[in-house]
Amino acid sequence: MNASLLLRSSAVSLLLLVVMLFVWHATTLPETASTEGMSDEYAALMGMAGGGAAKAGLPGPADVGATIWEKLSDPFYDNGPNDKGIGIQLGYSLARVLSGFFLAALVAIPLGFVVGMSPVMRGALDPFIQVLKPISPLAWMPLALYIIKDSSVSAVFVIFICSLWPMLINTAHGVASVKRDWLNVAQTLEVGALRKAFLVILPAAAPTILTGMRISMGIAWLVIVAAEMLVGGTGIGYFVWNEWNNLSLNNVIFAILTIGVVGMALDLMFGWVQRLVAYRE
């Protein structure tokens, strides 16, 4: 992207952000209503004590901004099981996501090579992949909890399941799509199977493999929030659910924004690595 296009895109993004914040602010302004005839207790219950303005149900940008500042000013505090800083909660979530993701990579990438290089294995494993791939990762959670009997490890297992299929399918596709000319040259030079896999097939299939890993990471970050809501204890998903139970919408919106920013950072990281390995003629 050239500098001029980047500048124009940034200006449009900034304008959209300003418009969204203005609309958010306008729709969350306190409603004006008369307190005449109301008891002091009822007016206080309606958020109208001391005046005629009732607070809107949804917090405004200023309220959420104050919450963001408060949470980020001390992100690693620990006041017990149900009161931990956002940094600690994100740390638990990222640890689970990365554990399940890398376990899936250890299985999916070698298996993808086998499937991509062997038409027999492709035909043999395809029915199993097509049956297991559409199953929602959260559908595995009850079975995982029953077998593993540990909520945190069960969450890692769910991340493993949801990360497996995009990496496996993309790896198999990338390996099967390597140019025949390159493979013929390697065969002519009598390159061994292991060296051919690492020196010919892997560099050629790397962009496609990274695409699968990028998709898997996005799905894993989506799933971990729902999984932590179910298993509880720690993590950003548990934080969202706990704050909803406390009726703290400021903290819920803050957590939603945090989930989005972290997800964007993970995607940008994989996008950067993908550009590094992309083949350029």
What's the CATH code of the domain at 209? 1.10.3720.10
Tens-place pLDDT, residues 178-187 = 877 777 777 7
Which of 76, 106, 92, 98 shows the shortest CA–CA distance to 152?
Answer: 92
Same domain flag for 81 and 9? no
Taking the C-alpha atoms of residue 191 and residue 229, their distance in angstroms, rounded to an integer, is 51
Same domain flag for 245 and 256? yes
Same domain flag for 98 and 27? no
Same domain flag for 90 and 218? yes
Taking the C-alpha atoms of residue 139 and residue 120, their distance in angstroms, rounded to an integer, is 30
Q: What is the mean pLDDT of the chain?
A: 84
Same domain flag for 19 and 130? no
Taking the C-alpha atoms of residue 220 and residue 223, their distance in angstroms, rounded to an integer, is 5
User: pTM for the whole thing?
Assistant: 0.82
User: Taking the CB of residue 181, how many other CB atoms lie within 10 A of it?
Assistant: 8
Range of the domain at 3: 1-58
Same domain flag for 45 and 147? no
Write the single-letter amino acid at 211: T
Same domain flag for 150 and 160? yes
Residue at a domain's end among 9, 29, 58: 58
Tens-place pLDDT, residues 57-85 = 678 888 888 888 988 888 888 887 777 88
Residue at a domain's end among 58, 81, 100: 58
